[in-house]
């Protein structure tokens, strides 16, 4: 379910743009009022309107991005979309205009009403008579419409200022994690360490949103700009001291996190993903790097970066140019990183790590850490979380003592109990993530390593054969099956995955489109010394088929299969 963007009725009261502009910014209690930059943007909105005095003093309560939810006390914000045409944007505009106090449009409203079925981001030369008719149409609408082409640059600040005007509160410290893999685990580990050290903590991301122990499933890793501000404010009212969030490339590119008071930014790694959205890897990298730029997040103090990743230098350059305290982490014992796993001793019960750290003027520390998390890649996740905890002011000695109490994120290297064999559910849904999971488990495996996985429909098709090859390279036996086929035929997805497979690889592969049958096949054929990984969906409790989400939880289906096979 999406994050709520509705202010509780008990807190709702009218505000005007002029009142927000005049709102004093001299508080010393940690609350956020209107900053200078936002004040200038609000003044510009007033000046751009046809009737500045009227617009400045129009009362409203909330900002809305969905025209269906607009009421008479709302400001509707019309944003561009790469997927919609002008007709849909006009429909949203007309629908909202019937109720809204006023409308702020990222799309030029004159151009919008002068063109038909053209993507809003396309620049067209509009004839004078069309412009005149469009202006006449705008004048007949029931509320003012103001063109604000750069509204994403301050939308988050605007939303938070409205909330703070209703009831000023102290917002939590924010730690943000970006990268292809590891975001969920690291954000949850940071929140756990902070909470165990006495800070009330919350998380926002793929596995859910809320205070630890009370997460609500989210529809997106990073919600829209209004939703994340509402959530930040909500957990602030619940006295959360810390928010650890996942910063997706979509969210960063679309400025959904604008206005989030991020203090500590973490970079994990980057591999092929989301190329159905980003034009190429360079664009994907640039989106991630925004998290380390004080021009986007002026509250930043620390950058924590995985120096083992090939794209780390881009993040380092951005962070250093912003004047941040930069700490790095590495699994390479000969690295010069700030936090190094100098020795790693894994087992199916967890891992023992010799941690070397050099983050202060004091003599470098060497401590032994015992972690209950499985997998070599989880050592990297743990180093990032430890660095963030240190940046939050928690001593390394205390962190070391808290290690045994840590729990992995649901669906991340999650071991499902069995009398024999080893059965694991993991979210790995990219070639790199799957390779890392299999490489981590291979060292523990006395028998054969099995991998059950597929690829999502309506997504990057070029990833499909790479995913299959990652599984075949790392596992002894592979079962290719459906993931979330969405609107595609699962057999067509599986056909794409098989491109380039050799005769030898086909001998080690079993093709089963039905995911439940694929899991049951693995359970019935794996021996007592084998390890089976069910990959790709992890924490998800559904399977999306033809735009319908059906109940499907890999860990539950696996438990049932183990029971039926008499292995629990």
pLDDT in single tens digits along all 568 residues of the chain:
345 445 555 557 899 999 999 986 544 444 445 688 999 999 999 999 999 999 999 999 999 999 999 999 999 999 998 666 688 899 999 999 999 999 999 999 998 888 654 555 555 455 567 788 888 889 999 999 999 999 999 999 999 999 999 999 999 999 999 998 899 999 999 999 999 999 999 999 988 899 998 888 776 667 899 999 999 999 999 999 999 999 998 899 999 999 999 999 999 998 755 455 545 788 889 999 999 999 999 999 999 999 999 999 999 999 999 999 999 999 999 999 999 999 999 887 889 999 999 998 778 889 999 999 988 889 999 999 999 999 999 999 999 999 999 988 888 889 999 999 999 999 999 998 899 899 989 988 889 999 999 999 999 999 999 999 999 999 999 999 999 999 999 999 999 999 999 999 999 999 999 999 999 999 999 999 999 999 999 989 999 999 999 999 999 999 999 999 999 9
Domain boundary among 91, 125, 157: 157
Domain count, the chain: 3
Q: What is the largest CA-CA distance in the chain?
A: 78
**What is the torsional sign of CA 483, 442, 185, 181?**
negative
Report helix, strand or coil for 164: helix
184 and 77 together in one domain: no
Domain boundary among 117, 134, 157: 157
554 and 529 together in one domain: yes
What is the pLDDT, as a whole number, of residue 346? 84
pTM recorded for the entire structure: 0.82
Residue 2 domain-assigned? no
Residues 396, 203 contacting (CB under 8 angstroms): no
Annotated binding site for meso-2,6-diaminopimelate: 459, 483-486, 536, 540
Residue 3 domain-assigned? no
Annotated binding site: 65, 67, 179-185, 221-222, 248, 254, 256, 459, 483-486, 536, 540
Neighbours of 487 (CB within 10 A): 10
The CATH number of the domain holding residue 342 is 3.40.1190.10
What is the pLDDT, as a whole number, of residue 5? 45
Domain boundary among 135, 157, 179: 157
Residues 232, 128 contacting (CB under 8 angstroms): no
The CATH number of the domain holding residue 126 is 3.40.1390.10
207 and 127 together in one domain: no
By the 10 Å C-beta count (0-12 exposed, 13-18 middle, 19+ buried), 280 is classed as: exposed
Residue 5 domain-assigned? no
The CATH number of the domain holding residue 458 is 3.90.190.20
Q: Nearest Cα to 15, choosing from 79, 99, 75, 83?
A: 75
Angle at 23 between CA 18 and CA 28, to 5 degrees: 170
What is the pLDDT, as a whole number, of residue 1? 35
User: Six-digit token pair at 358?
Assistant: 């050099």
Residues 173, 263 contacting (CB under 8 angstroms): yes
239 and 335 together in one domain: yes
Q: Nearest Cα to 405, choosing from 188, 223, 252?
A: 188
What is the pLDDT, as a whole number, of residue 564? 97
Locus of tokens 């240190």: 390
User: Six-digit token pair at 271?
Assistant: 């591999």
Residue 57 domain-assigned? yes
194 and 290 together in one domain: yes
Angle at 203 between CA 201 and CA 209, to 5 degrees: 125
204 and 315 together in one domain: yes
Residue 486 domain-assigned? yes
Print the domain residue range for 507: 414-565
181 and 116 together in one domain: no
> What is the CB-side half-sphere exposure of residue 194 using CA atoms within 13 A?
29
Distance CA 232, CA 499 (A): 45
Q: Nearest Cα to 126, choosing from 141, 138, 112?
A: 112
Q: Nearest Cα to 113, choosing from 74, 77, 140?
A: 140
240 and 360 together in one domain: yes
User: Six-digit token pair at 376?
Assistant: 């070599």
Which residue spans within 247-394 are E strands per DSSP?
A: 262-267, 302-306, 325-330, 339-347, 350-357, 365-371
User: Six-digit token pair at 112?
Assistant: 């919008």
> What is the CB-side half-sphere exposure of residue 441 using CA atoms within 13 A?
31
Mention every residue, 6+ apart, whose C-beta is less than 8 A from residue 503: none
Query: Cα dist. 53→17, 56, 474, 505, 524 in Å?
Result: 10, 5, 67, 72, 74
Distance CA 554, CA 539 (A): 8
Annotated binding site for ATP: 179-185
Residue 7 domain-assigned? no
401 and 423 together in one domain: no
User: Six-digit token pair at 216?
Assistant: 């609500």
Angle of helix 515-525 relative to helix 554-564, nearest 10 degrees, comes to: 40
Mention every residue, 6+ apart, whose C-beta is less than 8 A from residue 326: 302, 303, 305, 316, 319, 320
428 and 470 together in one domain: yes
User: Six-digit token pair at 173?
Assistant: 């410290």
Query: Cα dist. 475→54, 342, 350, 471 in Å?
Result: 67, 27, 21, 6
367 and 259 together in one domain: yes
What is the pLDDT, as a whole number, of residue 86? 83
Partners of residue 76 on adjacent β-strands:
64, 103
Mention every residue, 6+ apart, whose C-beta is less than 8 A from residue 396: 357, 365, 367, 386, 390
Angle of helix 225-237 relative to helix 155-166, nearest 10 degrees, comes to: 30
Residue 242 domain-assigned? yes
Report helix, strand or coil for 318: helix
**What is the torsional sign of CA 415, 209, 271, 273?**
positive
Report helix, strand or coil for 10: helix
Which residue spans within 314-431 are E strands per DSSP?
A: 325-330, 339-347, 350-357, 365-371, 414-416, 422-426
Q: Nearest Cα to 133, choosing from 107, 148, 112, 104?
A: 112
394 and 267 together in one domain: yes
Residues 445, 459 contacting (CB under 8 angstroms): no
Q: Nearest Cα to 555, choosing from 411, 358, 454?
A: 411
Residue 419 domain-assigned? yes
Neighbours of 305 (CB within 10 A): 30
């Amino acid at each position: 379910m999406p994050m709520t963007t509705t202010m509780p009725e008990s807190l709702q009261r009218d505000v005007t743009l002029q009142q927000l502009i005049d709102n004093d910014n001299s508080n010393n209690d940690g609350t956020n009022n209107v900053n200078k930059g936002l004040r200038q943007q609000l003044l510009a909105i007033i000046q751009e309107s046809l009737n500045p005095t009227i617009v400045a003093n129009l009362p409203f309560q909330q900002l809305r991005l969905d025209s269906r939810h607009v009421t008479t006390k709302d400001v509707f914000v019309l944003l561009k979309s790469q997927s919609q045409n002008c007709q849909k944007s006009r429909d949203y505009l007309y629908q909202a205009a019937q109720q809204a106090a006023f409308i702020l449009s990222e799309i030029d409203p004159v151009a919008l009403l002068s063109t038909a079925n053209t993507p809003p981001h396309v620049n067209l030369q509009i004839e004078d008579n069309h412009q005149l008719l469009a202006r006449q149409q705008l004048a007949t609408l029931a509320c003012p419409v103001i063109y604000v082409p750069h509204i994403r640059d301050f939308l988050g600040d605007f939303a938070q200022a409205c909330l703070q005007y209703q009831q000023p509160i102290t917002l939590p410290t924010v730690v943000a994690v970006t990268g292809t893999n590891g975001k969920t685990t690291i954000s949850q580990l940071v929140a756990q360490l902070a909470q165990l050290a006495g800070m009330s903590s919350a998380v926002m991301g793929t596995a859910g949103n809320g205070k630890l122990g009370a997460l609500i499933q989210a529809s997106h890793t990073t919600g829209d700009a209004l939703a994340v501000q509402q959530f930040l404010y909500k957990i602030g009212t619940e006295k959360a001291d810390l928010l650890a969030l996942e910063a997706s490339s979509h969210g960063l590119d679309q400025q959904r996190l604008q206005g989030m008071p991020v203090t500590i930014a973490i970079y994990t790694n980057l591999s092929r993903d989301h190329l159905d959205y980003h034009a190429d890897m360079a664009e994907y990298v640039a989106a991630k790097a925004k998290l380390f730029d004080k021009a986007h997040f002026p509250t930043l103090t620390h950058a924590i970066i995985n120096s083992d990743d090939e794209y780390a230098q881009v993040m380092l350059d951005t962070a250093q140019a912003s004047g941040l305290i930069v700490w790095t982490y590495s699994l390479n014992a000969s690295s010069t990183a700030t936090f190094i796993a100098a020795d790693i001793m894994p087992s199916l019960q967890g891992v023992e790590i010799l941690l070397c750290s050099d983050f202060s003027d004091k003599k470098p520390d060497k401590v032994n850490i015992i972690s209950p998390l499985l997998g070599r890649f989880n050592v990297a996740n743990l180093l990032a979380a430890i660095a963030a905890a240190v940046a939050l002011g928690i001593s390394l000695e205390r962190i070391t003592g808290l290690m045994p109490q840590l729990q992995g994120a649901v669906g991340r290297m999650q071991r499902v109990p069995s009398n024999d064999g080893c059965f694991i559910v993991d979210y790995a849904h990219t070639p790199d993530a799957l390779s890392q999971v299999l490489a981590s488990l291979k060292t523990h495996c006395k028998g054969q390593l099995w991998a059950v996985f597929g690829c999502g429909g309506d997504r990057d098709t070029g990833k499909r054969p790479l995913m299959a090859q990652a599984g075949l390279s790392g596992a002894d036996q592979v079962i290719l099956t459906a993931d979330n086929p969405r609107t595609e035929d699962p057999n067509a997805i599986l056909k794409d995955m098989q491109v380039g497979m050799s005769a030898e690889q086909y001998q080690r592969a079993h093709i089963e489109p039905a995911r439940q049958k694929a899991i049951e096949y693995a359970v019935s054929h794996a021996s007592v010394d084998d390890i089976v990984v069910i990959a790709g969906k992890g924490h998800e409790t559904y399977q999306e088929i033809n735009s319908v989400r059906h109940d499907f939880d890999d860990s539950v289906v696996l438990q049932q299969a183990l029971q039926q096979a008499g292995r629990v």
